[in-house]
């Protein structure tokens, strides 16, 4: 059995189709007719965009409108004015079109790959896909096509790009296997939307797999079995049937109120990164958006988005939600999220440095622009503002004062906005946990960001394999921090949500119910699972579990106990 990362749930049983890319090797050469070489580049980019638009149209049918925008994002990358200008400068200096285009793409790939943020790394994969497509046209090489894959196919590739997936007949594909990729890659997202089981980052799978051999993949566990025997086939066929029944059971929770077994009602909302993600939240039966990560609007630009551009994006999300809550987090950059055009200085320890609310309060023109856009958008829905990475009361007060200034400006201009817009904070630092009672007096709501809260509380970087064993919300120190935050919110009479990954963890849910969490903000695919899990607990039952957990001394003890009681 081989092991990879399960990125799209389900069990796939079928025959392997090895998707091998043709070589794009070339010998870089100097050119003298730079005018003709520039024209050759432009023609290649034009042909790439035409082909990609056809792929987008195909994806719109097989996956949906939002997924089609992934391919249109590739068109935007290929047509990026800054990049094309720089490529043409290299050509004018005598470099061939292939080398010029590749070197600029590689520069962006290096920038996006250097971060620890998975979503930013995905941009590197998008640029890599564009580079491959344009180079193939320049070199006259045919790229791999999966349009003719027969029924019952498991695609096996070193890297499966969105452009390759755009051409498949999804009814014929029962699984996806790759050597590279992650849960946040666009290919993984497309696999989930198409409901195709997928396992990525399987070491050596291209060498191990044989064309047309039978294989089994488990997109949840990441298990891969090549050439299975009869016993394994029977076992996984039965498991697949069980999984389909479980999915049908989850559908019973669609359209239901999110409530515990004893009737306490909770908010179950979604995390999004762009306005169209709100469509997914609604389709998944989410009850709104608990976290709109606005930094991705900035990452998709080569300069700071204008107030009007931001306003239109926030307004779009608000209109999609039709009155359901939309919590917009102000710009959270720094740490592992860099935006090159903002010129952030390199820091020895960026996670402890000039980031998030600290950066925004010192760059008031940028911050005012964003806040004005959010305030204007609040006239079109149930919008709230949330400040990230709060560590002291002064930050909250300064942010709120700025909002009040901008409200006064908008009133004078006669511009509509929600006078009673709620302003909350992310409690994701150890300091915010320790002074949660003070911060609660300054905030309309809390949202616990368990990813950063865990890292800051345990002084452990989850990307560092040497200390990753410490990175868990089930660490006693983190649990006590979460408990103190929820208790402070309850004492102040304000709602408290959680938008970190722990909000969807079945082992965490009884603890969160007992602590007093009022809102769960999760990824769209997790909505029905979390709703079902919440429905299986009473407050008394959750309290009994929590009492035992809080008496234990180690993460291992807590995990072992929770495995015996989680339903």
Position 338 confidence tier, pLDDT thresholds 50, 70, 90: low
Beta bridge partners of 422: 384
% of residues, the chain, pLDDT over 90? 71
DSSP calls for 257-324: --B-TT--B-EEEEEESSTTHHHHHHHTT--SEEEEETHHHHHT-SSPPPHHHHHHHHHHHHHHHTTS
Task: Please tell me the predicted confidence (pLDDT) of residue 380.
Answer: 97
Q: How far apart are CA 308 and CA 315, in angstroms?
A: 10
Q: How far apart are CA 78 and CA 255, in angstroms?
A: 42
Mean of pLDDT values over 543-549: 97
**For residues 432 and 119, which has the higher predicted lDDT (pLDDT)?**
432
Q: How far apart are CA 400 and CA 384, in angstroms?
A: 12
**For residues 501 and 543, which has the higher predicted lDDT (pLDDT)?**
543
Q: At what angle do helices 476-492 and 450-458 cross, to 10 degrees?
A: 120
**For residues 224 and 299, which has the higher predicted lDDT (pLDDT)?**
224
In b/e form, how buried is each residue of 192-228, taking b as 16+ CB within 10 angstroms? Answer: bbbebbbbbbbeebeeebeeeebbbbbbeebbbbbeb
428: Cβ contacts below 8 Å, ≥ 6 apart: 388, 389, 390, 448, 449, 450, 451, 452, 453, 456, 500
Tell me, yes or no, if the pTM score tops 0.85. Answer: no
Q: At what angle do helices 307-321 and 364-377 cross, to 10 degrees?
A: 30
**For residues 325 and 273, which has the higher predicted lDDT (pLDDT)?**
325
Q: Which of 105, 156, 186, 533 is an active site residue?
A: 186
The three-class DSSP label of residue 21 is coil
186 is catalytic: yes
Task: Please tell me the predicted confidence (pLDDT) of residue 336.
Answer: 58
Position 161 confidence tier, pLDDT thresholds 50, 70, 90: confident
% of residues, the chain, pLDDT over 70? 97
Q: How far apart are CA 541 and CA 151, in angstroms?
A: 48
**For residues 355 and 490, which has the higher predicted lDDT (pLDDT)?**
490
Q: Is the pLDDT reported for residue 163 higher than 90?
A: no
Position 143 confidence tier, pLDDT thresholds 50, 70, 90: low
Position 181 confidence tier, pLDDT thresholds 50, 70, 90: confident
Q: Which of 156, 270, 499, 533 is an active site residue?
A: 499
Task: Please tell me the predicted confidence (pLDDT) of residue 91.
Answer: 95
Angle 306-307-313 (CA atoms, 0-180°, nearest 5)? 95
**For residues 485 and 125, which has the higher predicted lDDT (pLDDT)?**
485
Q: Is the pLDDT reported for residue 352 higher than 90?
A: no
Backbone angles phi, psi at 174, to 5 degrees: -105, -5
- How many alpha carbons fall within 13 Å on the CB side of residue 353? 15
- Which of 27-41, 294-308, 403-417 is the least confident region? 294-308
SS3 string, 247-270, reads: HHHHHCCCCCCCECCCCCECEEEE
Task: Please tell me the predicted confidence (pLDDT) of residue 552.
Answer: 97
Task: Please tell me the predicted confidence (pLDDT) of residue 144.
Answer: 63
State pLDDT tens for residues 164-179: 888 888 899 999 999 9
How far CA 174 is from CA of 13, 149, 195, 217, 231, in Å, comes to 7, 11, 9, 9, 20
State pLDDT tens for residues 412-466: 999 999 999 999 999 999 999 999 999 999 999 999 999 899 999 999 887 677 8
Q: Is the pLDDT reported for residue 340 higher than 80?
A: no
Q: How far apart are CA 481 and CA 496, in angstroms?
A: 13
- For residues 128 and 163, is the Cβ–Cβ distance under 8 A? no
Q: How far apart are CA 45 and CA 58, in angstroms?
A: 20
Q: How far apart are CA 435 and CA 145, in angstroms?
A: 57
State pLDDT tens for residues 40-86: 999 999 999 999 998 888 888 777 776 788 888 899 999 999 999 99
Going by C-alpha positions, the residue among 388, 390, 375, 387 that lies closest to residue 421 is: 375
Q: Is the pLDDT reported for residue 517 higher than 90?
A: yes
Residue with tokens 């590279």: 180
Beta strand pairing status for 5-8 and 11-19?
A: unpaired
Query: How does the average pLDDT of the chain come out, rounded?
Result: 91
């Amino acid at each position: 059995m081989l092991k990879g990362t399960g990125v799209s749930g389900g069990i796939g049983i079928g025959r392997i189709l090895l998707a091998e890319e043709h070589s794009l090797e070339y010998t870089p050469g100097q050119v003298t007719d730079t005018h003709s070489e520039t024209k050759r580049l432009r023609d290649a980019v034009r042909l790439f965009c035409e082909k990609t638009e056809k792929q987008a149209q195909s994806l719109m049918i097989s996956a949906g409108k939002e997924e089609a925008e992934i391919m249109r994002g590739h068109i935007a990358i290929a047509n990026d004015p800054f990049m094309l200008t720089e490529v043409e400068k290299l050509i004018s200096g005598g470099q061939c079109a292939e080398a010029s285009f590749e070197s600029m793409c590689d520069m962006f790939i290096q920038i996006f790959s250097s971060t620890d943020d998975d979503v930013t790394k995905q941009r590197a994969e998008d640029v890599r896909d564009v580079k491959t497509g344009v180079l193939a046209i320049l070199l006259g090489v045919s790229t791999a096509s999966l349009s003719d894959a027969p029924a019952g196919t498991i695609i096996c590739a070193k890297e499966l790009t969105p452009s390759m997936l755009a051409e498949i007949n999804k009814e014929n594909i029962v699984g996806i296997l790759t050597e590279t990729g992650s849960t946040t890659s666009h290919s993984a997202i497309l696999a989930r939307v198409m409901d195709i089981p997928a396992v990525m980052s399987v070491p050596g799978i291209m060498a191990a797999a044989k064309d047309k051999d039978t294989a089994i993949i488990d997109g949840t566990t990441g298990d891969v079995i090549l050439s299975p025997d009869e016993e394994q086939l029977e076992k996984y066929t039965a498991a697949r049937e069980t999984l389909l029944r479980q999915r049908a059971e989850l559908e019973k929770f669609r359209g239901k109120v999110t409530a515990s077994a004893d009737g306490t009602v909770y908010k179950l909302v979604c995390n999004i990164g762009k306005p169209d993600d709100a469509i997914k939240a609604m389709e998944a039966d989410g009850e709104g958006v608990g976290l709109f990560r606005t930094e991705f609007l900035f990452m998709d630009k080569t300069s700071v988005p204008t107030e009007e551009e931001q306003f239109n994006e926030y307004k779009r999300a608000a209109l999609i939600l039709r009155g359901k809550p939309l919590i917009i987090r102000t710009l959270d950059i720094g740490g592992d999220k860099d935006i090159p055009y903002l010129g952030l200085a390199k820091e020895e320890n960026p996670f402890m440095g000039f980031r998030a609310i600290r950066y925004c309060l010192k760059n008031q023109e940028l911050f005012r622009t964003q806040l004005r856009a959010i305030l204007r958008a609040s006239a079109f829905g149930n919008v709230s503002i949330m400040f990230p990475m709060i560590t002291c009361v002064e930050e909250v007060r300064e942010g709120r004062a700025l909002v009040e200034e901008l409200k006064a400006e908008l009133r004078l201009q006669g511009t509509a906005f929600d006078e009673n817009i709620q302003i909350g904070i992310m409690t994701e630092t150890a300091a915010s946990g320790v002074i949660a009672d003070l911060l609660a007096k300054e905030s309309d709501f809390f949202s616990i960001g368990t990813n950063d809260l865990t890292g800051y509380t345990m002084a452990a970087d989850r990307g560092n394999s040497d200390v990753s064993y410490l990175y868990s919300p089930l660490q006693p120190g983190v649990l006590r921090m979460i408990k103190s935050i929820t208790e402070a919110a309850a004492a102040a009479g304000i709602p408290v949500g959680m938008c970190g990954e722990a909000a969807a963890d079945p082992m965490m849910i009884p603890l969160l119910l007992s602590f007093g969490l009022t809102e769960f903000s999760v990824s769209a695919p997790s909505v029905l699972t979390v709703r079902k899990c919440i429905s299986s607990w009473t407050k008394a039952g959750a309290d009994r579990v929590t009492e035992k957990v809080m008496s234990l001394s180690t993460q291992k003890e807590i995990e072992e106990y929770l495995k015996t009681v989680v339903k």
